[in-house]
Chains A and B, each alone.
Chain A
Amino acid sequence: MEYLLLQMLNGVQLGLLMFLLAAGLTLTFGIMDLVNLAHGSLYMMGAYIAWTLIGWTDSFVLGALLALPATFLLGIVVEAIVMRRLYARDHLDQVLATFGLILFFNELVRVIWGPAGKSIAVPAFLNRTVEILPGVPYPAYRFAIIVVGALVAVLLAWLVARTRIGMLIRAGASNRRMIGALGVNIELLFTLVFGLGAVFAGLAGLMAAPITSVKIGMGDDILILAFVIIVIGGIGSIKGAFVAAMVVGQIDIVGRAFLPDLLKTFLSASAAASASPAISQVLIYVVMAGVLVWRPTGLFGQRS
């Protein structure tokens, strides 16, 4: 029972990380109609920039806090140079150009930081366990990810639902031309939204770094999961992205934690060990296919 609870918490933690990534993706798609495959590169850059800054400042918190404006800046530069030209293009051009950006960023990282992976140590004050229930310890760092992720999710919900900028974002998602005609500076809004997405991606990358290690291409696989999430949730819907991220997080963890034991009852131990991550991944895609067959625009997507 305790094991189940801990694994479910791990699922929540993974889900929140993926939500941070998916939120930026779903915003850029919902508002700018942009398919950004290079979103995973921003996740990777966030982790690498944080690695450098943590080295300079000798403090995890300070380095991480400095890395956020840096990824915001990076996002704005990428938006100004490339993305801005892609908004009006069809999806194929966007796929092609952002695929090129992935190659560019992966190679850029190799030039700047070298081919070997880096590791970020868990900060000392979080390198312990907390008792989430009496007698049930849980790693403090993972708990901190859950707290930060949940805070950001709430902040985002507040930003979108309650503030003026959120109102413009929602208006932009339903009719871009109209809010432009009403005198809103759309270009500035787009740049801001893209930068915001970059910050969330960078935050997810640097928070994941102590758990997964910082390496080239780290954003590519998780990016595909993030796309699966926004497609399940319905593109453009923050709520949908959150629900789908939680579901995908749980499926992934269940696959990793429980399938090996289950499979061992009828497979050899090594076959079970190599088959279960595959099965949990397959399960995620089966869920996605099922949702799309049932609702071709996702759980919370707009019906056209």
Chain B
Amino acid sequence: MADVANHMETGQGTAKRFSHAILEARGLQKQYGPVHAVRDVGLTLHAGEALALCGENGAGKSTIFKILAGEVTPDGGEITLNGDPFRPDSAASAVRAGVSMVYQEFNTLPNTSVAENVFLGRMDMFRRFGIIDWTKLHAAAQEVLNRLGLKIDPRASIGSLSPSTCKMIELARALSTNPKVLLLDEITASLDHDDADTLHRLMADLRAQGVGILYVSHRLQEIFGSCTTVEVMKDGAYVTTRPVEDLDESQLSALMIGRKIDVWERTPGLADRPVMLALDGLSGAGFKDVSLKVRRGQIVTLAGLAGSGADAVLEAVFGAVAVSKGSIELDGKRHEGRDIPEAIAAGIAMVPKERAVEGLIDSADIQFNIGLAGLTRNARGGFVDGSAESKDAEQGMQLFRIKAPSAATAVRNLSGGNKQKVLLAKWFLTNPKLILLNNPTRGVDVGVKLEIYEMLQKLREERDLAVLMASEDMAEVIRVSDMVITIRHGAISGVFEGEAITETNLINAMI
């Protein structure tokens, strides 16, 4: 209740700064199975206001956006747009009502022209006698592109443009609908520096014209630069709303985390352990001059925003992408492995990020999947030792507490959490000296997450295993790492150990 009162109070505060509210949402609810994605969240967006929705991953920001954009139907709550009830049942109906969204994911079609993408789904506007009037279409597209200051030919093919420009075309698409409310979800994650500047200038223009903007970004600096108001969410619930002038970055971070994170018992004396992996000036596509050491029994995490190059470093150590410069030393010996089979033979395992594509074969059973990594370990002369393979599978199922009727259960019949455990078992069973974990708890619920952390802790102690991890889950990074190395634009931007591993420190080094 205190939160609500607080909201009302600040709501009145902001009302003085802006003329009138365009969009008001009260008591929004959305539940997915047992999970409350959003519970009793409200917001008020005024004409000319830029409201940043802030919170950790999973706080419910995207759900709110999707509700407002007509992608998701809320389980409860009311929304009004200019005082009228607003219940969009599709993205198209939200757009017609004046609410347009630019999504986090890419939404352009590669083999079509810029103009067609700007007016995607609305080409009917240019239809005359059943035929598209291309001249009119191109002229209309040119006009929108000019508003954005984009110097692109409307006839150009999307395939020839940079990802940043594609994102700007999605922005052009949203603008061309003349929205009263514009929703921008992590748009700057895909924009280069110049386009981000253009966007922020445009935001100021739109606000002057009375458009309301809802904004989500992990880059807190941007929020302070371009937004007027901040609303904080946590675990699907409303926390507070403040004018940006009343906050600084660290206060905002503290509000987002909402609590002091319980500190993971970090293993002492790791600095004296022998070095298992040493990278020296490693460079390749997406990363440059990366030098680091991982000791036996130590968990080192590479933390960076999506596309920072942290993934690429892991891929390079595993032999999945080429190294152009620098060296990899494993257990005191230079590792010359140029491909995955050689990396596995040298004692390196890697749990990949995309479980469905890179991790497990869905149609095959647990035993097949666990045995698949480094097939030669249970084979002699090309023949597989079936009983050794089945022992491995049993051991993996026990070790990771995989819930399945038997090792002959097809992976596709398991829950997401159990699939992830099979994936971990698959790689731990190769008895690696070094394990590379790329987002090892991606897409699993909190309970399984904690279980996986526990196993990880146990295994690295028992087996004196060196772990190099990459993770986009900040809570995970802070929780399990002995050392965090932040990566920004492919290069190391900071090294943090012990007490220095805090969300504020890491985020500042990452962005």
A binds B: no
